[in-house]
Structure 1
Amino acid sequence: MPKTTDIATFAEAYAAGVPVVDVREPYEYEAGHLPGARLIPLGEVVARAGELDQDATTYVICQAGGRSLRAVEALDAAGYDVVNVEGGMSAWTAQGRPVELGPEQPQG
């Protein structure tokens, strides 16, 4: 059973600096994403799983929680410690939490 969390619990983990993967499409990400979130569209998650740290718990977010749940199921099956963020960016922004506009910035 994939792990899930609500926005309030995720917000605490996010504030502590957990890794976050956004599985939406690039145009959705550019329209508003979590500062520091890595963009890996759902269709690329399996092929790019090696970009994730297998020793860290990674939180996965999308717009409402459906795509991120599918990504979490795939990554969990591949041995990654991942958590689905229920409600996604819709719930995050509905609570007035910070977002960043524009394309992904280089990691590192």
Structure 2
Amino acid sequence: MREIDQRSFAAAHRDGALVIDVREPFEYVEGHVPGARLMPLGQLSSHVSELPRNAPVYVVCASGNRSLSAAGYLIAAGIDAWSVAGGTGAWIHSGHPVTRGMHAAA
């Protein structure tokens, strides 16, 4: 699987990268990467057509396990997907900003 480290992900995020969060809604509202779009893992297959095929998609979860599965699924579907190593937990631990609630935008 393809995985991106936190430093590289932070740079891509600053540049406006598309981020999808595959956690459950109750996890997402507690804190997520600003701008991340909620697409729970169990519903991902119904959202594949909404994702671009000409730009990278960064997949985040709590710790990196679900995002690895999701990225693998998306890659098989023709999406340039990258799992974010360490997930939202590592993002928060690194001191990056977090959005709370259901809004994707910061």
Superposed pair shares fold, TM > 0.5? yes
* Partner residue, 1:31: 30
- Paired amino acid for 2:16: G
- Per the TM alignment, residue 105 of structure 1 is displaced from its structure 2 partner at its CA by 4.6
* Partner residue, 2:16: 17
Q: Which residues of structure 1 form unaligned runs of 5+? A: none
* Partner residue, 2:77: 78
1:60, 1:83 within 8 Å by CA — same for their partners in 2? yes
Q: Using structure 1 for the length normalisation, give the TM-score.
A: 0.93
Q: Using structure 2 for the length normalisation, give the TM-score.
A: 0.95
Match of 1:97, SS state, is: coil
Kindly report the root-mean-square deviation, in angstroms, between the aligned alpha carbons of the 2 structures.
1.2
* Whole-angstrom CA distance in 1 between matches of 2:45 and 2:73: 7
Match of 2:17, SS state, is: coil
- Paired amino acid for 1:23: V
Q: Which residues of structure 2 form unaligned runs of 5+? A: none
Runs of 4+ in 1 over 4 A off after TM superposition: none
